[in-house]
Structure 1
Amino acid sequence: MTLTLSVSDEVRALAPGFTHLAIEARGLVNSPSTADSSALLDEAARRLAERLDGRAPHEDAHIAAWRETYSAFGSKPNRTRNSAEALAKRALADGGLPRINLLVDAYNAISVAHLIPVGGEDTDHIKGGMRLIRATGEESFVTVAGGERTVEHPDAGEVVWCDDEGVTCRRWNWRQGVRTRLTEESVNAVFLLESLAPMTIGELEAAGSELADSLEKLSPGARISLRTPE
């Protein structure tokens, strides 16, 4: 069954230049990070450095657009950076990018190389469809604090991804919840690539195609499909 993805009118009014691309994959094989997935991250960091040419990530036009959008819904972009900017800063630092697992490494590499927020969700743990909304503040978000699972609530008006059970990602693409994240046991997933103007549809689709190619190489035999917003 195809996962339903929707964007609320409130979010579209907040960011009329927003669009996203979804990659659905079934029959994936995940594992701890490998030499192949590590190589993807190293190459992504190289491409990022070449793209920025000495600039800071927030000076990129696409990241600047995300910062403006975060400010528009009341989030401080210096404190809660969108996922692409946060990863880019790590890629440029001495420690480099973290190695998480095969699938997370693959989508993090695309995020860094293209400076675009990318997330992956285990569709076997998603309840109903996924919706991008402005929160009421009453929704539940399961995360980890101090090594223990805990439940938080988004701020009223905050942009969140959610399903029928609660929030799956806070502040649009800032922090993913533990319930739907990709683990080494994940076999079915949806990957979301999110863009704002001035990134073009062509650039978004190029990033999506590259991720699909990586997934096919890392999980031979997986069934992978790309689709644009409904």
Structure 2
Amino acid sequence: MLSIQALQETVDSAYVEPAVFELRPDYRALLIAVDGLIPGASEAASNALLEQAEMVARTALSERKAEHLPHIAAWREAYQAFGAKPNRTRNSLEALIRRAEAGLPRVNKLTDIYNAISVLHQIPLGGEDLARYSGAPRLIRATGQEPFDTVASGEPIVEYPDAGEVLWCDDDGVTCRRWNWRQGRRTQLRDETTSALFILDALAPMSNESLLAAGADLTSHLSTLGSEVISVQRLIGFPPAPGRDMTKG
């Protein structure tokens, strides 16, 4: 099991390239590193959380189209700013919101929780297997040479991003393309995942208070996945925000 110190070193080493803040000065990332998770299949509690999220999504979509929800609209603008087409490559929040009306996927307890929190708080939220990370998490503008381990037509394949694309990466390559569009195969959460890194992405009009509230809701539910669950978090913004926190649940 990882120590609090090891988890803190992970989030403290995370880095957002200045070029990203030049693109969107209002961007903030809340990183939460967690260990001590006990894996398990979807269950009544995670299903109930997903049902709550589905209800919230249906209510939101009854009032306006998905692309007009404030945080989704902000992310569509951000995608256009680095050349992505938001109607073709939707941010993870928009993709989930649109699926919620017909029913969100039931994957496993861990994935169910973070998908539900993403919809409930209307924030893009990515989850990565921390044990499969290599080096520090970094958000950069791509050179186009970073390898992305993914699947196409059911077969493993390595792709490369467009130059200038915003992406998360580590020492071994891309972990998530187009800011929060598609996660790589190498670091994706698995049924056996016991340590994870979660990234909550915020743009205006989402406030820091709302961002931190989403993080608190996530860690509260993650704390139910084991008696020795520990977590740390760090808020990254421009100018840099302190935001260090450590919890044990």
Query: When the two structures are superposed, what TM-score results if normalisation uses the length of structure 1?
Result: 0.96
Is the aligned partner of 1:20 residue 2:24?
no
Once the two structures are TM-superposed, the CA of residue 184 in structure 1 deviates from its matched residue by 1.2
Q: Which residue of 2 aligns with 1:35?
A: 44
Greater alpha carbon shift after TM alignment, 213-222 vs 196-205: 213-222
SS in 1 for 2:200: strand
Aligned letter for 2:41? P
Is the aligned partner of 1:217 residue 2:224?
yes
Q: Which residue of 1 aligns with 2:243?
A: none
Is the aligned partner of 1:146 residue 2:153?
yes
Number of positions where the alignment pairs a residue of Structure 1 with one of Structure 2: 228
Once the two structures are TM-superposed, the CA of residue 115 in structure 1 deviates from its matched residue by 1.1
Q: Which residue of 2 aligns with 1:56?
A: 65
Match of 2:95 among 86, 97, 105: 86
- Deviations along 1:37-82, one digit per CA (max 9) or x if unpaired, are 1111111111223344431221111110100000000000000000
Is the aligned partner of 1:186 residue 2:193?
yes
Where does structure 1 lack aligned partners over 5 or more consecutive residues? none
Q: Which residue of 1 aligns with 2:83?
A: 74
Where does structure 2 lack aligned partners over 5 or more consecutive residues? 1-5, 241-249
What is the CA RMSD across the aligned residues, in angstroms? Answer: 1.2
SS in 2 for 1:70: helix
Cα pair 1:48 1:114 within 8 Å, conserved: no
Q: Which residue of 2 aligns with 1:171?
A: 178
Q: Distance in 1 between matches of 2:58 and 2:212?
A: 22
Cα pair 1:143 1:177 within 8 Å, conserved: yes
Aligned letter for 1:77? P
SS in 2 for 1:39: helix
Q: Distance in 1 between matches of 2:113 and 2:184?
A: 19
Q: Distance in 1 between matches of 2:72 and 2:60?
A: 13
- Deviations along 1:181-209, one digit per CA (max 9) or x if unpaired, are 11011111111111001100000011000
Query: When the two structures are superposed, what TM-score results if normalisation uses the length of structure 2?
Result: 0.89
Is the aligned partner of 1:161 residue 2:168?
yes
Identical columns (%):
52
Q: Which residue of 2 aligns with 1:201?
A: 208
